[in-house]
Structure 1
Amino acid sequence: MTSFMPRALNRTALILFPAFDWCISPTHPEREERLLYTRDQLIEEGLEDVDNIVFLNPELASHADIDRVHLCAPSSHKLLTESHLISAGATLRVARAVMDKEADNAFAIVRPPGHHAMQTVFGDRGFCIVNIEAIMIEYIRRHYGVKKIAIVDTDCHHGDGTQDIYYNDPDTLFISLHQDGRTLFPGTGFIRESGGPAANGYTINLPLPPNTGEDGFDMVMERVVMPILDEFKPELIINSAGQDNHYTDPITNMNFTAQGYARLNQRLNPDICVLEGGYSIEGALPYTNLGIILAMAGMDYSHVKEPDYDQARFRQPEEMTKYIAGVCDKALEVFENRGKSKEEALKKKVVSERKNIFYDTTGFNVDEVRQYHLCPDCPGFTEVTATSPRARIHAYTVPFNACPTCQRTARDLFGATQPIPQTITALQDRVADIYETK
């Protein structure tokens, strides 16, 4: 690599926050060293001296920012450390940089990550406690009035938490490119997971076979991601920029490269990137993060290559390419049929869904039932009951795009619900920006 950098074409804002005071254990893959080599690489490359690349400081998210998105047991105050508030706060800071036109785009290179954090939170799962992208998105909607947002999750693990939070929201397009859930945590992210009754077809999962390489990711971007984004026409594109698809990652089985990540980012052209996974501390992250930054800044990234990079070794077998083409076709069919099932679902008025959520770090399960109260004028509101060995949540949650009737009905149901011992009874109303418990 070279130390010479021309002026960036795009004004790109960066926040780099390694969270020195938080880790699951000193040897855990998700620890402070994840970003220290990246920091050193960016300094070595001279990015701090490049005109139009701006380094910003993170800030603390408030507990109101957390509670706008999550239903935490026993509370966000008791579950989160300062590091989690700074990681989430960094996404708010880069969001403001883009929305206030301080920058053309921005990248929050932070930890702890967040895309496995569901709407209900009882602790840490998949290295995540709160969903930093969702916290950022709802902050943007609250303060800037943005409606249609697309999230493209390129982490090797399925973004099950982000999917969960936006499953019944037709104004949030969620696309996840990930290693097939039959072979990797969290064991979800299949094509049939396509959205709730008011938003069927707005969740697009692309489960890719182990050892997928540059050709496979290029195909998915060209055939599925970009055409769907062109048709959806989001006001903002968010990249959950997990980098554990890299061929050196110790806990996954993919065959992607720094060049591939940079090319993907150049094609996607996101407004905001937020770092998620990526656990090859020396072999991948310094190269992948640098490649993504240069692509965002509109600079040449052709020199960003791992020491053992050889394009020939990353060619995938023809049979794998055919299989991925089939995944693409099925995913496009999901989007083409979006919204067609809502009319039938409206006849039921309330649609129930039950699932089991495994908290891998602490080893317990949560039984969760969702009742989608549907409405012909909006996505409706959701009643959530989640039970864990630690606590129970019973909540009414109103999305940002709910109509006044659904907002009022949810509040009335909350008011009529009698408190139960060991149960957090909550109203989460994003229209009024209210979070109440009893």
Structure 2
Amino acid sequence: MPKKTGVIFFPAFDWAISPTHPEREERLLYTRDQIFEEGVMDLPQIQEFAPRLATLKDITRTHFCVPQVQNQVTEAHLIAAGSVMQLGDSVVSGEIQNGFAIVRPPGHHAMRVVHGNRGFCNINNEAILVDYLRHQHGIRKIAIVDSDVHHGDGTQDIFYHDPDVLFISFHQDGRTIYPGTGFTNELGGPGAYARTLNVPLPPGTADETFMYVLDNLVLPVVKDFQPELIINSAGQDNHYSDPLGSMRFTARAYADFTKKLKPHLAVLEGGYAIETALPYVNLTIILALAEIDYANVKEPDYVPGKFKESPEKVAQVHRMVEHLSEIWANKAKVDVSKIFGTGKHYQRNKFIYYDTDYIEEKQQEQVRMCTDCPGYLSIASHAQRGHRTSVRVYTVSIPFQACPSCQCEAYDIYERVKKQQEYDFVYLQDKLTDTYRTYAKNKGQEWITEG
């Protein structure tokens, strides 16, 4: 028998930013009603899975939660991340051919260092999945395609220096929408140049241009990258009825996108048109994954040819696609030293705003410029909430592909910084040995979790 499409629902009844916030449980409940009313879950091609809990160790493999994981996540977050991991295990084992995690809370705005909630996200479900699959199943090359109206800045941040993760995000132009990032010059760090590709689309972009970007950039790049696994951050706020975006995608276009991309896993991100979009978009994505005809699924107010795109904006997108395609095609010829310098470390300063928790964070990020591996990463972070509450942390992350020299040097830096008085917390994340260390200055104590 052909393999099935796995589906997990987790509405997170006990988690909400506020009772009337756009990110609330009804986002999934209308979808669930629609799908059960249509009898989709009774089809032989569909298999429903029960959610499961991620462990705290699964979170620390990806994030530095300040001061610790328990301060930043609820049980709902652990179930959302665990549900994604459940489907990942089922795909890798061959139990299902693909899956759709229809879960909340979402995650693609959560960065490597977590001081609070930003963009409705505390932890990054897709990033946690990637690190879990690498640790548990030895998977190396993974592609993440983010179709949310908002730039997936958290996912980009986590994998910016990772040559084995291709991250492509197409989204509404950051000059017109949160989080104000995701431009074509954001291309990855010195060891992962062009592994990050951003396509900022002008407001009003509709299906035809959506498909042009997919056919002429996304699909060719993903094919050339040859990933072992493809993940879709399935944000649906590019839909024409979404209250937070200004795009014009339809449910049919989302289905066509899914059919062409053939992701192994789709993970729900944004999408806030609870009645007019989500039930139809989610339904077509499930049908497309299961290779079931979705031609008759249409929004009640859908009118063919309703949205006309500006020829100037279409031409702008075509030029951008051509530019990014050239960057991808010529990435091996680029002398990265001319972009990132020739020093021992590449450094960049970042300002990060937590729009939900009103936290302002300044980061100084350094990556070791190593010829044998992607290099270890260190981040000095200063976060402030208001005028009185602030915290300074220092983090060191050793990647899965680290060479012995970088691993040894990273441990030395961690031990040296522990002796300084500048930071409230010092963290070490060693993905090679699955080890996580936390040093709290005020207690003079260190906690070590080993795999």
Aligned counterparts, 1:156-235, within 5 A: 156-235=149-228
CA contact (8 A) 1:201 1:336 kept: no
Question: What are structure 2's unaligned runs of at least 5 residues?
Answer: 385-389, 440-451
* Structure possessing the higher relative contact order (Cα contacts under 8 Å, 6 or more residues apart): 1
Aligned counterparts, 1:14-93, within 5 A: 14-93=7-86
**Mean alpha-carbon deviation: is it higher for 393-402 or for 249-258?**
393-402
Which 4+ residue blocks in structure 1 deviate beyond 6 angstroms?
none
CA contact (8 A) 1:256 1:314 kept: no
Q: Which amino acid aligns with 1:424?
A: F
**What CA distance in whole angstroms lies between the structure 1 residues aligned with 2:144 and 2:421?**
37
TM-score, structure 2 normalization: 0.93
Q: Cα distance 1:66–1:419, how it changes in 2: closer, same or farther (>3 A)?
A: farther
% identical aligned pairs = 49
**What CA distance in whole angstroms lies between the structure 2 residues aligned with 1:176 and 1:309?**
26
Paired position in structure 1 for 2:286: 293
Match of 1:370 among 365, 370, 380: 365
CA contact (8 A) 1:118 1:162 kept: yes
Paired position in structure 2 for 1:361: 356
SS at match of 1:391: strand
Paired position in structure 2 for 1:426: 427
**What CA distance in whole angstroms lies between the structure 2 residues aligned with 1:361 and 1:230?**
37
**What CA distance in whole angstroms lies between the structure 2 residues aligned with 1:307 and 1:47?**
19
**What CA distance in whole angstroms lies between the structure 1 residues aligned with 2:202 and 2:341?**
36
CA contact (8 A) 2:3 2:95 kept: no
**What CA distance in whole angstroms lies between the structure 2 residues aligned with 1:304 and 1:10?**
24
Q: Which amino acid aligns with 1:323?
A: Q
Question: What are structure 1's unaligned runs of at least 5 residues?
Answer: 1-7
Paired position in structure 1 for 2:107: 114
CA contact (8 A) 1:197 1:351 kept: yes
**What CA distance in whole angstroms lies between the structure 1 residues aligned with 2:330 and 2:238?**
29
**What CA distance in whole angstroms lies between the structure 2 residues aligned with 1:338 and 1:85?**
38
Per-residue Cα deviation, 1:309-331 (whole angstroms, up to 9, x for no partner): 11210342322221110111122
CA contact (8 A) 1:10 1:296 kept: no
Q: Which amino acid aligns with 1:32?
A: E
CA contact (8 A) 1:13 1:55 kept: yes
SS at match of 1:326: helix
Paired position in structure 1 for 2:382: 387
Per-residue Cα deviation, 1:391-417 (whole angstroms, up to 9, x for no partner): 222011011111122111111211222
Per-residue Cα deviation, 1:136-170 (whole angstroms, up to 9, x for no partner): 01000001101110000000000000000000111
Pairwise CA distance, 1:111:
0.4
Pairwise CA distance, 1:343:
4.9
**What CA distance in whole angstroms lies between the structure 1 residues aligned with 2:9 and 2:320?**
35
| Count of aligned residue pairs for this structure pair | 431
SS at match of 2:134: helix
Per-residue Cα deviation, 1:174-218 (whole angstroms, up to 9, x for no partner): 000100000000000000001011111110000000010000110
**What CA distance in whole angstroms lies between the structure 1 residues aligned with 2:213 and 2:181?**
19
CA contact (8 A) 1:392 1:423 kept: yes
**What CA distance in whole angstroms lies between the structure 2 residues aligned with 1:45 and 1:222?**
31
Is 1:252 the counterpart of 2:216? The answer is no
Match of 2:343 among 331, 339, 348: 348
Q: Which amino acid aligns with 2:431?
A: R
TM-score, structure 1 normalization: 0.96
